[in-house]
Amino acid sequence: MNADALYLDLKHKLGDVMPEAELILKAEVAAEVLRLKEERNAVILGHNYMEPALFHTVPDFQGDSLELSRRAAETDKPYIVFCGVRFMAETAKILNPSKTVLLPTEKGGCSLAESITAADVRALRAAYPGVPIVTYINTYADVKAECDICCTSSNAVAVVESLKTDTVIFLPDEYLAKNVARETGLHVIVPKVLPKAGSAASGTDVEHTMIAWKGRCEVHELFTPEDIDSVRKQFPDVMILAHPECSPEVVAKADFSGSTTAMIKAVEKSKAKRYLLLTECSMGDNIVAAHPEKEMLRLCSHRCPHMGEITLEQTRDSLKYLRWVIDVPEDIRVRALRSVERMLAVGPKVD
Ligand code: 13P
Ligand code: SF4
């Protein structure tokens, strides 16, 4: 698509929210990205949290963490440009090591990924010997390498159930752990001090228990049950959707909870008049751009600062200068791959 066609498409989708000068500029940058993508024979994966001008123009595939991991595993293109954060790009590298994986920002952090280290996981394994360890995909490769299986927000319950155990360690998101525990009937503990390795407590006191960690998503922890009460009072017909990284109190008051893609599909299917999304705010913009007939309420602007680092301009420079290349040491990659592949075997599949 050339810049004129991209401009018309962006105007149609974002004309109400983006000034004319920006529409023209973004269309030109998007055209450059598409040209470089073809030149490099690259695939671009775009997470649902990408800014609207990027999300609606350059990705070959859009989706949540699970969908994009599957796309990364399947591609035969030599370059994978991951428009998401670092742990997602690392997962692409773990799954497809012969490809060059590019992250359009040098940092691209995540408060959950930064909340736990490989040494923490080793200490947990020593404290609770024999207890399987599930890690949320929002962790770095060295942490995945120490765990038994990964999960994402779209398959966390299925992954825990697949273990057929009544005790599980679930890392590092305390709120996701609590939300999954509620659905799987487990009792959650977040140990302040780990039991000594090999002590009786580790083996006996944890039946029907999910042992969680104290990580939080800095975006989703900002939503409160009071926010929901206040919006429902003003708009009784609103449908409220919350990502499972929100607190269990928030999720309990919402009408729907699921991964980013599950929330998009729920809005698309629903006949409700208005929606409130309790998640990163660009996703609401992306839904409105694709479905202008859906009324999206704005509670506040909780933008993930890490996802916000990735723009169309950064994506263009990533392809132009082949930066920033994601590498995972081979010994770590091989062990992390086991955890990721076990998760992919649980499902669900994407079409
Ligand atoms: P999803 O897997 O639901 O896309 O979530 C990723 C994430 O980081 C949400 O904050
Ligand atoms: Fe991490 Fe939260 Fe940002 Fe998702 S929204 S990438 S969990 S900080």
* DSSP string of 164-221, one letter each residue: --SEEEEESBHHHHHHHHHHHTPEEE--SSPPPTT-HHHHHTTTTEEEE--B--TTGG
Q: Is the pLDDT of residue 199 over 90?
A: no
- Closest ligand to C-alpha of residue 243 is 1
Is residue 138 in contact with ligand 1, taking CB distance under 6 Å? yes
- The pLDDT value recorded for residue 205 is 65
Please confirm whether the linkage preceding 248 is cis (ω < 30° from 0).
no
Q: Is the pLDDT of residue 299 over 80?
A: no
Is residue 259 in contact with ligand 1, taking CB distance under 6 Å? yes
Distance of CA 268 to CAs 46, 47, 49, 123, Å?
A: 19, 18, 17, 44
- The pLDDT value recorded for residue 298 is 77
- Å from CA of 234 to ligand 2 middle: 29
d(CA 281, CA 51): 9
The terminus-to-terminus CA distance of the chain in angstroms comes to 25
Protein residue with its CA nearest to atom 2 in ligand 2: 217
- Phi then psi for 45, rounded to 5 degrees? -105, 130
Six-digit token pair at 97? 């090591």
- The pLDDT value recorded for residue 349 is 62
* pLDDT tens-digit readout, 205-233: 677 899 999 999 999 999 999 999 999 99
Q: Is the pLDDT of residue 200 over 80?
A: no
Question: 3-state class of 74 per DSSP?
Answer: helix
- Å from CA of 20 to ligand 2 middle: 30
d(CA 84, CA 105): 9
User: What band does 195 get if pLDDT is binned at 50, 70 and 90?
Assistant: confident
- For the chain, give the mean pLDDT: 95
Is residue 260 in contact with ligand 1, taking CB distance under 6 Å? yes
- The pLDDT value recorded for residue 295 is 93
Instruction: Answer for the pair 188, 181: CB distance below 8 angstroms, yes or no.
Output: yes
d(CA 185, CA 37): 47
Is residue 163 in contact with ligand 2, taking CB distance under 6 Å? no
Residue owning tokens 């993930």:
304
Six-digit token pair at 86? 């670092």
Instruction: Answer for the pair 295, 275: CB distance below 8 angstroms, yes or no.
Output: yes
Residue owning tokens 């919402």:
254
Which atom belonging to ligand 1 lies closest to the Cα atom of 219?
10
* pLDDT tens-digit readout, 163-193: 999 999 999 999 999 999 999 999 999 999 9
Is residue 283 in contact with ligand 2, taking CB distance under 6 Å? no
Residue owning tokens 């959707």:
241
Give the percent of the chain with pLDDT over 90: 91
Instruction: Answer for the pair 151, 134: CB distance below 8 angstroms, yes or no.
Output: yes
User: What band does 119 get if pLDDT is binned at 50, 70 and 90?
Assistant: very high
HSE-CB at 103 with a 13 A cutoff on CA atoms is: 22
Q: Is the pLDDT of residue 86 over 70?
A: yes
Q: Is the pLDDT of residue 202 over 60?
A: no
Which atom belonging to ligand 1 lies closest to the Cα atom of 152?
2
- Å from CA of 64 to ligand 1 middle: 6
Q: Is the pLDDT of residue 39 over 70?
A: yes
Residue owning tokens 């991991």:
69
- The pLDDT value recorded for residue 146 is 98
Please confirm whether the linkage preceding 348 is cis (ω < 30° from 0).
yes
- The pLDDT value recorded for residue 350 is 58
- Å from CA of 258 to ligand 1 middle: 9
Is residue 282 in contact with ligand 1, taking CB distance under 6 Å? no
